[in-house]
Structure 1
Amino acid sequence: MTTVAQVLHNKPEQAVYTIAPDATVLEAISLMAEKEIGALVVTHEDSVVGILSERDYTRKIALMERTSFNTTVNEIMTAKVLTITRAFTVEECLELITDKHLRHLPIVENGTLIGLISIGDLVKAAMEDQKKLIDQLQQYISG
């Protein structure tokens, strides 16, 4: 089974966009729009302290009638962040994402953020694994 390390290696865009907890939500959503991404990892002094997603914005700004101009990221971010390491398998990550209803998993090694994978990255890797298995089985059957 493919590992997170392999997914990161095969990922064309490896940049991880972060934001400080004291930034405004407007700054955060502007960065997400500019980079065409759905989440930012919230960091303080190189440590992951939260994650801010479009879902957080929708539920905690728009529905609660707050404004993006004077609300800070730490007021609406998800503070309980589940992180993984490069050693996790795609299967383990898919289970986590499914069980916890997540869309993104920050990858942390030795306390340092090294990457971020999305549900899309994981599904793509799982599909590639299945294709390889099907090809091997077809070769075995016809061989």
Structure 2
Amino acid sequence: MTNVAQVIHDKIEKTIFTIRPESTVLEAITLMADKGIGALVVTQDEKVVGIFSERDYTRKVMLMERTSKETTVSEIMTAKVLTVTKSTSVEDCLDLMTDRHLRHLPVVENEKLVGLISIGDLVKAVMDDQRKLIDQLQQYIAS
């Protein structure tokens, strides 16, 4: 089974977009819109302190009638961030994301952010593993 290190290696877009906790929500959603992404890792001094997602915006700004210009990311980010390491298996990540209803997982090594994986990245990895297994079985049957 593939692990997170392989998923990160195989990603086409390897840039990790981050934002500071004191940034405004408007800055965060503008960056997300510009980059076509659904979440930002919130970092301070290279350490993960939260994650800000489209869900945070819709549930904690729009529905609570806050303003994006005046609300800071730290006020509405998810502060209890679950992280994984490069050695975590894809299966364990999928279990965690399914159980906790997550779409993104920061990858941390030695308390430093080294990647961000999405549910889509993991599904692709599982599909690739299955394709390889099917190919191997077909070759075995054919020989």
- The bucket for the TM-score relative to the shorter chain is over 0.9
Long gaps (5+) in structure 1: none
Output aligned runs, 1:61-76, within 5 Å.
61-76=61-76
What's the TM-score once normalised by structure 2's chain length?
A: 0.98
Output aligned runs, 1:1-143, within 5 Å.
1-143=1-143
- 1:26-52 Cα offsets, whole Å, 9 max, x none, are 000000001110000001111100000
What's the TM-score once normalised by structure 1's chain length?
A: 0.98
* Percent identity over paired residues: 71
3-state SS, counterpart of residue 69 of structure 2: coil
- 1:10-40 Cα offsets, whole Å, 9 max, x none, are 1111100100101100000000001110000
Long gaps (5+) in structure 2: none
Provide the aligned length of Structure 1 versus Structure 2: 143
The alpha-carbon deviation at position 138 of structure 1 amounts to 1.5
After the TM superposition, which parts of structure 1 deviate over 3 Å for at least 4 consecutive aligned residues? Answer: none
- 1:50-107 Cα offsets, whole Å, 9 max, x none, are 0000010000011111110100001100000000000011111111110110000000
- The root-mean-square deviation of aligned C-alpha atoms, in Å, is 0.7
Distance 1:53 1:139 in 2: 44
Distance 1:41 1:107 in 2: 10
